[in-house]
Amino acid sequence: MRPRLLALAIAVPVALAPVAPALAVAAPSLQTRLDQLTASPDFPGAVAYVRDRGGEGRTFKAGTAERGTHKPMPGADGRFRVASVSKPIVAATVLKLVDQGKVELDAPVERYLPGVVRGKGVDGRKITVRMLLQQTSGLADFSAAADWSKIGKQDLLKVALSLEPTPRGKFAYSNTNYLVLGMVVQAATGRDFRVVSRELVLEPLGMRDTYWPAKGETKIRGPHAHSYGVNPVRPKDGIVDVTRLPGYEFGPSGGLVSTPRDLDRFWQARSLKDRFVAVAESGWPKGSRYGYGLMEVPLSCGPMWGHAGDIPGTSIFSGRLRSGRTATVYVTGTATGKARGRLIAAFDTALCGDKR
């Protein structure tokens, strides 16, 4: 989550045209990619966890878990803030409630939140749960307008409703959609979305190291690396240690803490049969689509299903191929510009190009 909570994909720069075998140049290995990432000051540490279609998992690490030390990065069971990779978990929770008959995909949001989603050009009677899941509701993204010095005291939905909406029915990525989905879960069950997602998704999948931070909690529990980025409350301080953050306040849009191994468990279980809508926003690779909390993005070996996310001090790409191969790659800095391209290249290599 940076101050905008999410900055998503740019075109993957590693898709290569076919060349004659004699002229082919071997692509860097995944370990080399991670070493290159952490050779720059942008990313003190990097971790990749890859599980092949046969079920064998491998961990790759580079850099340090804490600046000024030689402390190694944690492995596949090290915890980190997964930012917008929280969204697939929330979407899976909603779909479980659909299966239970407690939520209807084509029901208006008004049914669950009467009078709540009303604002500038926005009417909850015309927005369905499906639109929220697919990012086609028209709700503006609160994150660009939020005052992060008031985090926990500001009504982020009211912030979003004061903004100019996007065209309803057309894809427009907005953290507000998943903020409202968390509210729908609570309205439909009478319980906080964190409790419901734990019971319906995290516990059944054995994601024991994944949790939603408690209110007021700023630390990360268990083994983890330090993360470094711009604190949105004090941006003038520049790059600082932002390991401690009020994760509870990031809510269903990006508050989850997990591990690479737990995310693998999720991707192995996640259905790929969702309905996807075309993505036509700048910054997304051509041919990208979005489903119920899932990005479908073309890589050099074909489409990937998963998600990406950014939070101050951490950037992540995580997902799977149709073959069942999964990968999570994260760095302990916020990836922007050319550095983001290098992170995407590492993720592409993890899923497509490194068999070692």
What is the reported pLDDT for 69? 95
Instruction: Write down all domains in the chain, each with its CATH number in brackets.
Output: 21-87+208-353 (3.40.710.10), 89-199 (3.40.710.10)
What is the reported pLDDT for 149? 83
pTM of the model: 0.91
Amino acid at 330: Y
Taking the alpha carbons at both ends of the chain, their separation in whole angstroms is 32
Residue 86 CA: distances (Å) to CA of 117, 234, 316: 22, 25, 11
Mean pLDDT by 10 residues, the chain (356 residues): 34 27 59 95 95 92 96 97 98 97 98 95 96 97 88 92 95 97 98 98 98 97 97 91 96 97 96 87 90 95 96 97 96 92 96 71
- 54 burial type by CB count under 10 A (0-12 exposed, 13-18 middle, 19+ buried): exposed
What is the reported pLDDT for 319? 97
Query: For 44, phi and psi rounded to 5 degrees?
Result: -60, -35
What is the reported pLDDT for 151? 83
DSSP characters for 210-251? -BPPPTT--S--SSB---EEE-TTSGGG-EEE-----GGGGH
Distance between CA atoms of residues 62 and 67, nearest Å: 13
Q: Quick check: 300 and 306 in contact, CB under 8 A?
A: no
What is the reported pLDDT for 9? 31
Query: For 60, phi and psi rounded to 5 degrees?
Result: -125, 135
Q: Quick check: 215 and 192 in contact, CB under 8 A?
A: no
- Per-residue b or e along 210-235, where b marks 16 or more CB atoms closer than 10 Å to that residue's CB: bbbbeeebeebeeebbbbbbbbbbee
Neighbours of 20 (CB within 10 A): 6
Distance between CA atoms of residues 224 and 280, nearest Å: 36
- 309 burial type by CB count under 10 A (0-12 exposed, 13-18 middle, 19+ buried): buried
Distance between CA atoms of residues 351 and 319, nearest Å: 9
Three-state DSSP at 183 gives helix
Where does the chain show beta strands of DSSP type E? 45-51, 57-63, 80-81, 118-119, 122-123, 228-230, 239-241, 257-258, 277-278, 289-290, 295-299, 302-311, 314-320, 326-331
